[in-house]
Amino acid sequence: MRRLIAISNRVQVDHEGETANRGGLAVALAAALRESNGIWFGWSGELTEEFTGQITFRRAEGVATATIDLEAQDIEEYYNGFANRTLWPLFHYRLDLTEIARDYAGGYARVNSRFADTVGPLIEPDDLIWVHDYHLMPLGQQLRERGFDNRIGFFLHTPWPPPSLLVSLPDHRKLVESLLSYDVIGFHSHEWRQAFMDYVTAHLDARLEGDRVIFGGRSSLLLICPIGLDTEEFCAAAGTPAAVEAETRLIHSAVGKAVIVGVDRLDYSKGLQERFSAYELLLTTRPELREKVFLLQIAPPSRGDVPSYQQIRAELNSLSGSINGEFAATDWVPVRYVNKGYSRDQLFGIYRASRVGLITPLRDGMNLVAKEYVAAQDPADPGVLVLSCFAGAAAQLTSAVIVNPHSTEDMADGIARALAMPLSERRARHKAMLECVEKEDVRWWSKRFMEALIAEDAAVGPARSPADAAQE
């Protein structure tokens, strides 16, 4: 089996006692790497006074990791700056929150170049390289410039924005051209891939041939490859003490009330304010539901150094407080808003105890929480998933109650429908979704991507090392 080198901004594997804030990518990649005996390379999350390129090698949960520390200026300009203040909002259609600054773009280029310089010596000619996410779009080109002609793939975990938004980015052409150094570019859904195709045909001197882009003498395959859950591992939580305790605690504390659950990183793309407003509308327009339901929103803070994240946190505190102030009774709190992380076992129990899973991002590349909610249900008496039409997951989980997260009325109707849904319909919808979550899991996802990358190898021929290339 070919060795995989996965490269992502952060390398996050669980060390004992740490479970909070683990992103979707961490969950998915660990499984893919364990199987291929690969190396996961990226930033340690640590700060260093001066960048040295020194690599720390570790092994955690069967995954070999190689990490580097970054300087404060790198973190400010590349991570907090270009990645989280420029690209993340832009790629989630939030031009209003997109901050453009040359320092950010400069930091982004510098860190991508530092990644290329430090990972380079680890790469052998036969390795497959898989780069992840918007933080590292130029890395493939940086590696090519250093002479690596391994098969290199890139997977985008976020949406790809429509061309009319992307052109707001200075140097948008340069960024997209750099992506076309990859052999395979993966997207979660047809919609994100189509937006990419629309851009390259409108703004670059590129040609589409089926699902390939031909540009600058290279061909890149544009692959639709929706990420899945590590379903087997996640479902192994069933019956564990932590899962059972979380489930029974929630059921007892609910005393017969139906639990509506939301689990999200605290991020403006997740539509949390809109969700709270929809729930408020539900209680206002359907008084018969008061004291019969409550919303449990779990949202651990993320990216606290970025002002828009501090702002959303303050807004949600105020919104949950005002809903509780308006509707609460002596023995009923309508919104339980919890800003902390839970272990995966506990999350399993929480999902299982909840009658409705309310997942309503305004835009989301995929959304793994929706899949986790489905996987955790009891097939004999499952809860109902209410899902935003703007999550990548909606293209696969078509048996969810699909709602428009911009319409509080539509969401309130969706929740009411889910609460009233008869058992037979709940079972039928759940069965269809579970089939997809089980079949198209994280192994299916990584296999699909890796096979596409290997097939490119057959098409293009074996890679040479930079040393071979120099000798020729």
Nearest to 431 by CA among 468, 381, 359: 381
Task: Please compute, for residue 378, the number of CA atoms within 13 A of its CA located in the half-sphere on the CB side.
Answer: 12
CB of 340 to ligand ADQ, least distance (A): 6
Closest CA to 208 of 217, 192, 218, 197: 197
Closest separation in Å from C-beta 157 to ligand ADQ: 4
| 346-362: burial string, b at 16+ Cβ within 10 Å, e else | bbbbbbbbbbbbbbbbb
Is 364 known to be catalytic?
Answer: yes
Q: How far is the CB of 230 from ligand ADQ (least distance, A)?
A: 9
| Residue pointed to by tokens 């390795």 | 127
Does residue 178 contact residue 169 with C-beta atoms inside 8 Å? no
Any catalytic annotation for residue 117?
no
| Active-site residue, selected from the candidate residues 133, 183, 345, 364 | 364
Smallest separation (angstroms) from ligand ADQ to the CB of 3: 23
244 neighbors 287 (Cβ within 8 angstroms)? no
**Residues listed for the chain:** 472
Q: Please report where in the chains the tokens 């640590």 appear, as a residue.
A: 46
- In the complex with ligand ADQ, the residue whose CB is nearer, 33 or 421, is 33
Q: Which residue is nearest to ligand ADQ (CB)?
A: 24
Amino acid at 10: R
Residue whose CB is less far from ligand ADQ, 24 or 327? 24
| DSSP annotation of 95 | G
Q: Between residues 214 and 236, which has the closer beta carbon with respect to ligand ADQ?
A: 236
Check 132, 157, 188, 430 and give the catalytic one: 157
Q: Which residues bind ligand ADQ (CB under 6 A)?
A: 19-20, 22-25, 27-28, 157-158, 227, 263, 265, 298, 300, 341-342, 347, 364-369, 372
Nearer to ligand ADQ, 22 or 430 (CB): 22
Cα distance between residue 199 and residue 161, in whole Å:
9
What distance in Å separates the CA atoms of residue 398 and residue 376, rounded to the nearest whole number? Answer: 18
**59 and 65 Cβ atoms separated by less than 8 Å:** yes
Measured between alpha carbons, how far is 386 from 379 in angstroms, rounded to an integer? 17
Cβ atoms of residues 411 and 403 within 8 Å: yes
For ligand ADQ, give the closer residue by CB, 218 or 249: 249
User: To the nearest whole angstrom, how small is the minimum distance from the Cβ of residue 306 to ligand ADQ?
Assistant: 14
> Of all helices (H) and strands (E), which one includes residue 31?
helix 24-36
Q: How near is the Cβ of 80 to ligand ADQ at its closest, in Å?
A: 17
Residue 66, SS3 per DSSP: strand
Report d(CA 61, CA 245) in Å as an integer.
Answer: 25
CB of residue 265 to ligand ADQ, shortest distance in Å: 5
User: How far apart are alpha carbons 396 and 193 in whole angstroms?
Assistant: 15
Beta carbon nearer to ligand ADQ, 83 or 298? 298
Provide the strand spans (E) within 156-196. 184-187
Minimum distance from residue 207 beta carbon to ligand ADQ (Å): 29
Which residues, listed in sequence order, are joined to residue 151 by a DSSP beta bridge?
none
Nearer to ligand ADQ, 163 or 392 (CB): 392
Nearer to ligand ADQ, 107 or 228 (CB): 228
Rg of the chain's alpha carbons, rounded to an integer? Answer: 23
List residues with catalytic annotation. Answer: 157, 364
